[in-house]
Structure 1
Amino acid sequence: MTTRDERAAARVAELAVQRGLTVAVAESLTGGQISTALAAAEQAGQWYRGAVVAYSTEVKHEVLGVPTEEVVHAEAASAMARRTREMLLADVAVAVTGAGGPSPQDGREPGTVFLALDAADHHRVARLQFDGDEPMEVLSGSTSAALDALVAYLEGRD
């Protein structure tokens, strides 16, 4: 975890406590990195509900209700965020799914990532593109983007 991610997670913690909101995560390609950052933040037991790390396609379909055959897709990220928020009884959830590389997945080039944020009053999906040559860079970039999306939402900028 980078210092930047630690700062972003600390900001999520601060804002979640201030606003009295709970946070959850659905992760695929990041394999728990977002959850690790949030769980290490201050007072996590008060605001962090947990995560679903759905690395396998079958889990995405069966547990998180991903409706499309392709899991590297905006609809997949959207379903992951919405279902995780519901299952973990959170106020806001963020989800990431993508092709971490080095090979393509679902016809998407390595480095293609979909990030979704779901709350009762807000739903957004974004497509991100990272340099797919190095999987760890894709995972790191996806983790940072998810934490930044949470900060933006909690600050009212999203």
Structure 2
Amino acid sequence: MFLATAESLTGGQISCILGAAPASSDWYRGSVVAYSSEVKHQVLKVPEGPVVSEASARAMAGAVAELLGADIAVAVTGAGGPDPQDGQPPGTVWFGLFTHGRIDTEMRRFDGEPQDVVTATTDHALELLERALVSVPGRVPPPLA
């Protein structure tokens, strides 16, 4: 079972935590850090239009799973602040979770300064990965932190 991540506003923080976990080379495939909209569109198949969106999170999760050969992938895209982005207020974050061919999405709003939003986003993405791993029958999830 392999994991992957696609990150925007977190700038690789999720990947850094996963890469530092015990035996991560056995289960962590890697990450695409797509901070710019152009990279999201060109590499992660995000449709043209706003990148702080459900469609963007869905595309990012599916594309990174395909690119890196992962069974489970999490993607994050959002307006980290301090300014709005794509008409979304600061702290708006979309999450995409690819699990064995299925993609679920959710939106969260986090308060605080940009670094607070990044930390909350990173923490929630790791929680989503842990939940996905626990839901796999007969699978003991690796320690993520």
| Aligned-residue offset at 1:54 | 0.1
Residue of structure 1 equivalent to 2:74: 94
8 Å Cα contact 2:99/2:132 also seen in 1? no
Does 2:87 match 1:139? no
Q: TM-score, normalised by structure 1?
A: 0.84
User: When the two structures are aligned, how many residues end up with a matched partner?
Assistant: 136
Q: Equivalents in 2 of 1:121, 1:28: separation in Å?
A: 22
User: CA-to-partner distance for each residue in 1:74-132, whole Å, 9 max, x for gaps?
Assistant: 0000000000000001111000000000000000000000001002253210000001x
8 Å Cα contact 1:23/1:93 also seen in 2? yes
Structure 1: gaps of 5 or more residues: 1-20
Q: Equivalents in 1 of 2:74, 2:48: separation in Å?
A: 19
Report sequence identity in percent. 51
Q: TM-score, normalised by structure 2?
A: 0.91
Q: RMSD across aligned C-alpha pairs, in angstroms? A: 1.1
**Paired residues for 1:30-109 under 5 Å:** 30-109=10-89
Residue of structure 1 equivalent to 2:135: 156
Amino acid at match of 2:39: V
Q: Equivalents in 2 of 1:117, 1:105: separation in Å?
A: 22
Amino acid at match of 2:106: A
| Aligned-residue offset at 1:156 | 1.1
- Greater percentage in helix: 1
